[in-house]
Structure 1
Amino acid sequence: MARTLRDCIYGQAVADALGVPYEFRPRGTFLCTGMVGHGSHNQPAGTWSDDTSMALAICDSYRELGRIDVEDIRARFVRWYRQGAYTVDGLFDIGNATRAALERGHGLSGEWDNGNGSLMRTVPLAYTDATDDEVRAVSAITHAHAVSTEACVAMVKVARELIGGAEVADVAGDAAGRSANDIKSGGYVRDTYDAALWCLANTSSYAECVLAAVNLGDDTDTTAAVAGALAGIVYGMEGIPDEWLSALRGAEVIEACLF
């Protein structure tokens, strides 16, 4: 069955919301088994974070313009940052590099600027006609170092292969065969890339995948958001537990951005 942008975005948003209450908590200090609220950001259950908001900004730009327009996407990011666009109740989380880039008007390109803040929003680009250079340019709005831009290009290629029906084992690469102890789940872009693919490759359902991502600890919402976007492509919305979809907040915001 062909998977749509809706499958991907809801896959991301639900996983993001699962991870929000546990962000910054070390692996092994908690166990996520379902949708709960409060925790790290004191948000109601079902509230997604900056990961999904920024993905929706990209989707909304493409929905309206029918093409990749970096300046329009940047303007929508600023509206999210300044005015709370593409959120449920307003912004409550933003990465340091993303904040600095939006304040300065250009992406950060230092070696230490390779957080996962552009990767977290990049999977939906697989549903556009974005070229590799356009994917790089969208990343570079905030994260302009080659490590970040190339991770985004690679992730879009993985997502497009999954959309086309490729087997997970064929796209997961080296990450699939690692042990959990070798998978890092902090904010570094390459770690998030590997962790998302590891979760997808070592589970057999949407729920197993995203719970594995959250329970890796640390940057729980972003690891889960990326893994969840991919799992949404693989398993579809029908694979997302009904109780999680029912608990998800802001569905009207999501629906308004889809193309």
Structure 2
Amino acid sequence: MKKSAILSGLMGVCVGDALGVPVEFSSRQERLQNPITTMTGQGTYRQPPGTWSDDSSLTLCLADSLCQGYNLKTIADSFSRWRYQQEWTPHGVVFDIGGTTNQAIRNILNGVNPVEAGETHERSNGNGSLMRILPMVYLASTVSFYQLIQWVHECSCLTHAHVRSQIGCGIYISIAVKLLQGLDLKSAYLEGIEAVKPIYYHPSLTVETSRFERVLTGKIDQLSMGQIESSGYVIHTLEASLWCLLTTSSYAEAVLKAVNLGEDTDTTAAVTGGLAGLYYGWENIPSEWVEQIARKDDIIALADRLEQAIFSTTES
């Protein structure tokens, strides 16, 4: 793992998220007529430039928890502290939270086992677990791939326990693993989906796996913009993020393309930005954007702590 990979991924998520926050819920037509080209502020939530949303907050909560090793209760407690004690918020207030995530955190506080806290019905397949799952990839050097994906599933279940959300997270992390290994974008995509097929191509999962056909055929990048949706549905976000990543040639181009798809702009760009950060590296995220990111120094310090924790685990 490249020494800066943790910072690259975490900052990749936060910058993409912050680019999308001011225009969340705007239509694609609005974005095509008035595209976002740089970091802005105000807009939807009336926040200053560089403000990230719950997407990054929960990503940073997860990363912080992983400094102590993988423990689902520790992660769940961190999510609760964010919701009710404003831990890992950009400016000391929670200004955005998905309904499914909110209910899951309430369940945890009411004593529900964390792995059973997330809702399981079909209508609870928003992108709320996918948007925060990236830090799990940093455990790839410490456990088997199969174990990693099982942990990813558990981590999704904290808030989004339907198998569709679990599969979305698993595919995303599998591709991220290949990027960490240094593969080019298309190879990481193709090898990433091949790696999870033995897990997901199981008779009991046939119906759910078929919903990911456009990703699992290895041809998502061949679709037109008109065929890509950018709502808050987990499959739409996974498809859109991979499409943006595979049809661009820089970090900036990838995340701006994601924002300008409209609708769930912050999450599409955060999910895109995590993978783009891993691939292009910290040094290729525009510095003028990074400088505006809320709590930039805290994020850098967190990346250092997690890096030290991971390397101490692999060396022992």
| Partner of residue 287, structure 2 | 242
| Partner of residue 243, structure 2 | 198
Q: Does 1:59 align with 2:63?
A: yes
| Partner of residue 95, structure 1 | 98
Letter in 1 for 2:37: T
Distance 1:238 1:171 in 2: 21
Distance 1:169 1:132 in 2: 21
Larger Rg: 2
| Secondary structure at the counterpart of residue 91 of structure 1 | coil
| Partner of residue 12, structure 1 | 13
Q: Does 1:81 align with 2:83?
A: yes
| Partner of residue 225, structure 1 | 270
Distance 2:22 2:86 in 1: 20
Q: Does 1:169 align with 2:160?
A: no
- Count of residues paired in the alignment: 257
Q: 1:131, CA displacement in angstroms?
A: 1.7
Q: Is the 8 A contact 1:28 1:215 kept in 2?
A: no
| Secondary structure at the counterpart of residue 29 of structure 1 | helix
Letter in 1 for 2:167: E
Q: Please report the TM-score for the alignment, with normalisation by the length of structure 1.
A: 0.96
Structure 1: tracts of 5 or more residues without a match: none
Distance 1:145 1:164 in 2: 29
Q: 1:160, CA displacement in angstroms?
A: 0.5
Distance 2:5 2:186 in 1: 21
| Partner of residue 113, structure 2 | none
Q: Percent identity?
A: 43
Moved over 2 A (4+): 170-174, 255-258
Letter in 2 for 1:93: D
Q: 1:240, CA displacement in angstroms?
A: 1.0
| Partner of residue 207, structure 2 | none
| Secondary structure at the counterpart of residue 263 of structure 2 | coil
| Partner of residue 126, structure 1 | 137
Superposed CA RMSD: 1.3
Structure 2: tracts of 5 or more residues without a match: 109-116, 190-217, 307-316
Note the alpha carbon deviations across 1:231-254, whole angstroms, 9 max, x for none. 001111111112111111111331
| Secondary structure at the counterpart of residue 166 of structure 2 | helix
Distance 1:237 1:42 in 2: 28
Letter in 1 for 2:21: V
| Partner of residue 144, structure 1 | 161
Q: 1:133, CA displacement in angstroms?
A: 1.2
| Partner of residue 70, structure 1 | 72
| Partner of residue 202, structure 2 | none
Q: Is the 8 A contact 1:57 1:257 kept in 2?
A: no
Moved more, 222-231 or 170-179: 170-179
| Partner of residue 110, structure 1 | 121
